[in-house]
Amino acid sequence: MKILNYINGKWENPVSGLFIDNIEPATGKKYGEIPDSDRADVDHAAQAAWKAFPAWSALPAGQRCDIMFKIADGIEQRLDEFAAAESRDNGKPVGLARVMDIPRAIENFKFFATAAVQFSSESHATGQDAINYTLRQPAGVAGCISPWNLPLYLFTWKIAPALASGCTVVAKPSELSPVTAFMLSEVCNAAGLPPGVLNIVHGLGHRAGQAIIEHPDIKTISFTGGTVTGKKISATAGPLFKKLSLELGGKNPNVIFADADMEKAVTTSVRSAFTNQGEICLCGSRIFIQRNVYESFRDAFIEKTRALKIGDPTQEENNLGALISAAHLEKVKGYVALALTEGGKILTGGQQVNPGGRCSEGYFYEPTVIEGLNDNCRINQEEIFGPVVTLIPFDTEEEVIRMANGTNYGLSATVWTENIGRGHRVAAALKCGIVWINCWLLRDLRTPFGGTNQSGVGREGGWEAMRFFTEAKNVCVKL
Ligand code: NDP
């Protein structure tokens, strides 16, 4: 399978003529090629996006809304095909792609299609003397760069609000999971999205991605990915005075108080630990358990973890598929080895898995639970982004708040308690952008989404995203 760049409404080879192998994580084998794009392709895409900008930004919002609904319908009509492609490209179970990734991509387009027609701006009366009103004008050409873990889900989470706001887009999916982005270009074309409004450039982060960040005509950048890459992007984009939204890594605490509904806490904590092989920025990887329920929670958690099935992602019965790449598998293995040197005890998991058959060279790893590590060690400070969690006992509310806040990250947290006052109190004290009380990954697309500290800068979702992709201009009229 050879995929191509989508620029100015056409599918094109990269200018260099070079391609990169696309590997299927479940088999470890090459199954396709993607463009190894560089500055020349990005430049071509940026030119097309600027050419399309005046007409797209001037289009009545209702017409942008109609086209975006057609795009949502186009994905929906091919849902099974999209889910199979996402699973093959990323290694995730096909059932998960069918109920989570692809439906959410459809929802992103529908949600922001309606946002296009409902977005409004403020006006401020200055006593009897003047009236101010705020124009929200589309920012221009937006650069949207997304990671491999939730490929179409996160790609469209950026593209949809950019298009709804009237921006045109140059976008790059991760080179590790590019296929559904290519399929999206087919859908957009069929839906009548005008040429140049969305341009998709495939390739490596340090080449094609970096060219987007550096391009003088792409001044608005929405990036989701790792904290190290985020720092690099900040360093490049800062002196160029670009507008940046950075959604980065996390090391999220999951706090279990003794008064929690244990059945729900255990079941959801297994989900928040291992869904998508633990490759979700919102996964709860540090599980803090109040000491008097530590053992009962631990034993129930391990029992449910051991019941998870791992194997060929095309098989509906499997809960976990393959990790994204050989390099990522090595990273996860390295962290588990480090956990042992730091004094950790593996309660379950801790081994690579060989499911046999066509998957015998795939990148599978057991869901792994570790205890006995202090909250300051590297395992509890660094993002592993795989199926590995630690269990840490605590005694008091103050102590767990201190430990939960004790990393450089600040993306999300989960709190389990039946004490409503405690739930609100702890939520307010946690230093992060998102807190779930007695649930996890329950999303309302209107809410602000993002993190603090090294988890990022800015917020996505709802009006936050519409504001990001527009420039505010105040107009003051003397009465
Ligand atoms: P990376 O930072 O490696 O890559 C993210 C994207 O940036 C990819 O498309 C990558 O391309 C590209 N990229 C890499 N280098 C550059 C560069 N110098 N300039 C521009 N673009 C570049 O992250 P991963 O793909 O490994 O994703 C995992 C990370 O994403 C985790 O840390 C996770 O926590 C985070 N994440 C955060 C979320 C959030 O909402 N806060 C949500 C999901 C994930 P390529 O892949 O081709 O190198």
CATH of the domain at 114: 3.40.605.10
Check whether residue 73 and residue 85 sit in a common domain. Answer: yes
> Are the C-beta atoms of 15 and 38 separated by less than 8 Å?
yes
Domain that holds residue 287: 252-437
Check whether residue 212 and residue 329 sit in a common domain. Answer: no
Give the CATH number, domain containing residue 430: 3.40.309.10
Residue 82 resides in a domain: yes
- pLDDT score of 368: 98
Which regions in the chain score pLDDT beneath 50?
none
Check whether residue 75 and residue 197 sit in a common domain. Answer: yes
Check whether residue 17 and residue 86 sit in a common domain. Answer: yes
Q: How far apart are CA 185 and CA 94, in angstroms?
A: 21
Query: Which DSSP state fits 450?
Result: -
Average pLDDT in the chain: 98
Check whether residue 334 and residue 223 sit in a common domain. Answer: no
> Are the C-beta atoms of 301 and 269 separated by less than 8 Å?
yes
- pLDDT score of 139: 98
Q: How far apart are CA 367 and CA 303, in angstroms?
A: 12
Tokens of residue 33, six digits = 């090629």
Ligand 1 pocket test, pick from 224, 251, 279, 383 with the greatest ligand atom count within 8 Å of Cβ, gives: 224
Ligand 1, residue 204: give the atom nearest the CA.
Answer: 47
Residue with tokens 């260099």: 16
Check whether residue 222 and residue 262 sit in a common domain. Answer: no
The one catalytic residue among 167, 281, 283, 359: 281
Q: Total domain count for the chain? A: 2
Ligand 1: centre distance to CA 226 (Å) = 5
Pairing status of strand 19-24 against strand 29-35: antiparallel
Q: How far apart are CA 177 and CA 276, in angstroms?
A: 14
Check whether residue 210 and residue 290 sit in a common domain. Answer: no
Check whether residue 220 and residue 280 sit in a common domain. Answer: no
Check whether residue 275 and residue 368 sit in a common domain. Answer: yes
- pLDDT score of 69: 98
| pLDDT tens-digit map of 89-128 | 999 999 999 999 999 999 999 999 999 999 999 999 999 9
Instruction: Report the run of H or E that residue 230 belongs to, with start and end.
Output: helix 227-237
Check whether residue 14 and residue 79 sit in a common domain. Answer: yes
pTM listed for this prediction: 0.97
Ligand 1: centre distance to CA 224 (Å) = 6
Residue with tokens 């005694």: 395
- pLDDT score of 230: 97
Residue 447 resides in a domain: no
Residue 299 resides in a domain: yes
Residue 56 resides in a domain: yes
Tell me the sheet residues that pair with 368.
Answer: 388
- pLDDT score of 111: 98
- pLDDT score of 442: 98
Ligand 1: does its nearest atom lie under 6 Å from the Cβ of 210? yes
What angle is formed at CA 338 by the lines to CA 332 and CA 341, rounded to 5 degrees? Answer: 155
Check whether residue 27 and residue 51 sit in a common domain. Answer: yes
Check whether residue 301 and residue 232 sit in a common domain. Answer: no
Residue 181 resides in a domain: yes
